[in-house]
Structure 1
């Protein structure tokens, strides 16, 4: 494990591969951590691979007690850009899903000169907060029960008291064909002991529905995201056919990807794409940026 001061964070991250190879940054989602990429990294020889813990997860820490424990999308995108700046990485292939996919999409949309290619789970992950009050079909709404649960203080208390059980339940519901064992879950569950985990998670699921104020420091970024900017970099979108939260979200034909899009649906794969289908995830990275 390595550390770097990047923006408002002291970021903990794993690094592997060839220090002189093309840089690849892999970003985890909720409720997961860097171990989602344990089987992906060995499949990327010849690359410089970096896998950070996001804000509120694992050993990553806020540098100041006064920094808002925001989980909003703009903060995640800024964190990624700051991480690249701190390590003097001018351009990289970005790969992510869930929260990590959102951060990767944001950097690709707002600072495309920093992105050589994008691998995203479930397509375009930038939130349209202005439209968050519009109801979806009941079949879609029921999958988001955990988000609505966290809108109230009962949910905050439940996450605080049962953070491991909460995550394990989501793993089962979101990846019904993935038979993970206790050891695999325990490796990731350590990340939920972060002292800021609950606050960051709760804020994320409230802010995206307009129920919590954002961090003024990233308000300008959030305003740009409200315009749903296009992503003008080469992109591969991966979607698990068995995803129990995103449902069927094949990104084929999405006009917001203006730099070229290849969309693939992965049979028998749920929400945690890199951990369930590491070969497919690594192959997408290699396709966007051949090493050597």
Structure 2
């Protein structure tokens, strides 16, 4: 496994691992909740074999990534994730990269592609367009989808905050099973990722994320300008491939069927059979293929 490295941004010391030739076309692989960079362990070799420089960071609140100041709000709002990604590219002096992610990581990638298109050479985003429409968050979904989102409503309560603090690994293990019902992961695979939930900021970042997206918690004042831009649901022009697991237990496959309207550049949706929410770890070859099938960088 590649050596652990860190990059200092205005807000964070972001931990990451880097693989492949330093002069290769850069690819950033971005994990989601409740997952970790270990989800990309089987994706990286294919990209390195193709000559890519691969960077796999820990998001804020995960693993060795740390806030620089105790005064910085422990926000998990979407604007924070997008700004962190932009700051990481700046810290690594990468002007432009392919961005690939799912869940929170897919959201960060979509935000950078939409707001700073000159930094995105290509995009792989699981479940399609991942920028939240916070203004519409009060509209109920179908009863089935409301049921799938139980954990979000749980986190809106102080009981949920206490539950996550006391049972972060237990909640994550349950979500893995519910969201990827056909993935028979073993305990060692889960434990490798669960170790990254022991970050002292994990609970606060997660709770703020799930409250902010419904308007139940204030955002970081420093990020309000970005949130205002995201509220317009900006389109994405970068060449994009959107894989979606056919068995996704939290974001059903039909949810991305109409997402082409958000993309003004080349766009392809790929449904991955018998795969759930964690596409990179459940179908690493298919996920790597999405990246390598993007137009030449």
Please tell me whether residue 198 in structure 1 is matched to residue 198 in structure 2: no
Q: RMSD of aligned C-alpha atoms?
A: 0.9
Aligned to 2:54: 49
> Could you give the per-residue CA deviations for residues 167-201 of structure 1, whole angstroms, max 9, x where no partner exists?
00000000000011111011001100000000000
- Given that 2:129 and 2:256 are in contact with CA atoms closer than 8 Å, whether structure 1 keeps it comes out as no
Q: Which residue of 2 aligns with 1:105?
A: 110
- Given the alignment, which residue of 148, 158, 161 partners 1:156? 161
TM-score, normalising length: structure 1: 0.98
Q: Is the 8 A contact 1:28 1:98 kept in 2?
A: yes
- 1:82 lines up with 2:87 in the alignment: yes
Deviation at 1:253? 5.7
Structure 1 residues not aligned, in runs of 5+: none
Partner of 1:254: 260
- The secondary structure found in structure 2 opposite 1:288 is coil
- Residue 251 of structure 1: how far off its partner (Å): 3.8
Q: Does 1:170 align with 2:175?
A: yes
Q: Does 1:19 align with 2:30?
A: no
Query: What is aligned with 1:180?
Result: 185
Could you tell me how far apart the structure 1 residues matched to 2:113 and 2:210 are? 23
Structure 1 match to 2:291: 285
Deviation at 1:260, TM superposition (A): 1.5
Answer whether contact 1:122 1:251 (CA < 8 A) is retained. Answer: no
> Structure 2: where are the runs of 5+ without partners?
none
In the alignment, structure 1 residue 272 sits paired with structure 2 residue 278: yes
- Is it true that 1:68 corresponds to 2:73 in the alignment? yes
Matches within 5 A, 1:233-248: 233-248=238-253
- Give CA deviations for 1:49-69 in whole Å, capped at 9, x if unaligned: 000000000000000000000
In the comparison of the two structures, how many residue pairs are matched? 291
Quote the Cα distance in structure 2 between the aligned partners of 1:219 and 1:140: 29
Question: How far apart, in 1, do the equivalents of 2:208 and 2:246 lie?
Answer: 29
Q: How many angstroms apart in 1 are the aligned matches of 2:24 and 2:41?
A: 19
Q: Distance in 1 between matches of 2:161 and 2:136?
A: 24
